[in-house]
Amino acid sequence: MKIKTFLDLCSGIGGGRLGLEKAGLTSIGYSDTSKLAVRTYNLMHNTEGEPYYYNLKRIKTETLPDYDMLIAGFPCQTFSVIGRKEGFSDDRGQIIFHLAHILEESQPKCFLLENVKGLVTHDKGKTIKTIVAELNRVGYDVIYKVLSSIDYGVPQMRQRVYFVGIRKDLCNNIEDFSWPEPAEKPALSDYLIDDNIASEERLEILRYYLKNPTNKGKYRIEDFFEMEGKILDTRMNDLRIYDGRCPTLRAQRDGVLYVRNHTIYQLTGYEALLLQGFPKEYADKVKNKVSDRHLLMQAGNAMTVNVITELGKCIINFINKQEDLHYGNMERI
C-alpha cells in the first residue's frame, strides 16, 4: 500500500481517525482544542506514544513526521445554514487557511476534508471557489461532493460535503476519482438500544409542541405510543416524524425521541455514537465515563465513521492507480 499514515486535525472524538484506521491506515498524531473531546478521543482510541498538537494554528510543520494523508473536519459553524453564516469574517472560518498552510509546508500525498452541506452554496458559491482555489495554490488537485451518511451503512440522514485532494505530481486527472458506491441501509432498531425512557419533563416539552399553531390538532400524546419504531424530532416550532431513519445529529440537538414497545425514549449519546458508525466496543469505552450531554454534542460534531472508511479506500485505490499509470508510462518511454 502506497498510502500508510495520516495526520488527524480538528480531530473531535476521532470519527475520521477510526474511519481511516478501518481503511488500513495509521495515525501519526492528532489535534483539537476541545479538552472534553480530546478526553473522549483518548478513552476511545489507543494514542499511546502519539503526539497531541492541541491547536493546529500553532503547529510548526518542520516538527511533523512524514505522513501520507491529512484529514480534518474543519469548523463548520460559520458556514452552516442554521448559523449566522459569517464565513471567512469569523475567526473559525479561517481554519481552512491554516490547513492549507500545513498542506503547503508538509506536502502529504493527499487530504480529506469535511464540512456542512451549506458550504457549497455559502455566499452564492464564492466561498467554496475560494477554498478550492487556495487548495489548488498549495499544490493539490481537488474534487468535492455532498454525500449522505444514510447511503453508507448507518440510518442517519447526514449530508456533508467532502473534499478530496491529491498532490498534483501524483494526479493525472482528478475527475477520474471514483466516489464510493452506496451501501444497504441497516435497520434503525439495531441502533436504538439504550434504556433512557423520556422523562415527564421531556414529554411536557413534546406536549408544548403539539399545542403550537403548526401542530395543533394533528396529534395527541397518546398517538405516539402506537408509532412503533418512529423517531420524533422537535426543533424550533416544528415536529417531524421519521420512519426507519434518523435526522442529522447536531452538536446542540437534544430533542430526538423515539418509540419502542409503546414507550417513548430519548436518544442518548451512546446511541448517537452508534448512528455515527462507532462500533459498540468503542461506544462502551465512554458510556458512563463521559456525560450523556457531552456525548450527544460530541457525536453531533463527529464525522461518520462508515463514510470516511469508504472515502479512504477510494483515495487509496485512486493514488495506487495513478502511480501504476505513471510508472507504466515511464516503462513505455
How many residues are present in the chain?
333
Span between the terminal Cα atoms of the chain, in Å: 25
Single out the residue of 66, 75, 77 nearest to residue 9, CA to CA. Answer: 75
SS3 state of residue 241: strand
Count of alpha carbons within 13 angstroms of residue 12, beta-carbon side:
27
Contacts of 308 (CB under 8 A, 6+ apart): 15, 16, 18, 19, 20, 23, 71, 112, 114
Local structure of residue 219 (DSSP, 8 states) = -
Has 314 been annotated as catalytic? Answer: no
Pull the grid cell for residue 319: 493514488
Single out the residue of 119, 77, 69, 123 nearest to residue 99, CA to CA. Answer: 69
Count of alpha carbons within 13 angstroms of residue 42, beta-carbon side:
13
Alpha helices in 256-291 (DSSP H): 269-275, 280-286
The one catalytic residue among 10, 76, 171, 246 = 76
SS3 state of residue 285: helix
Cβ proximity of 291 and 2 under 8 Å: no
Cite the active site residues. 76
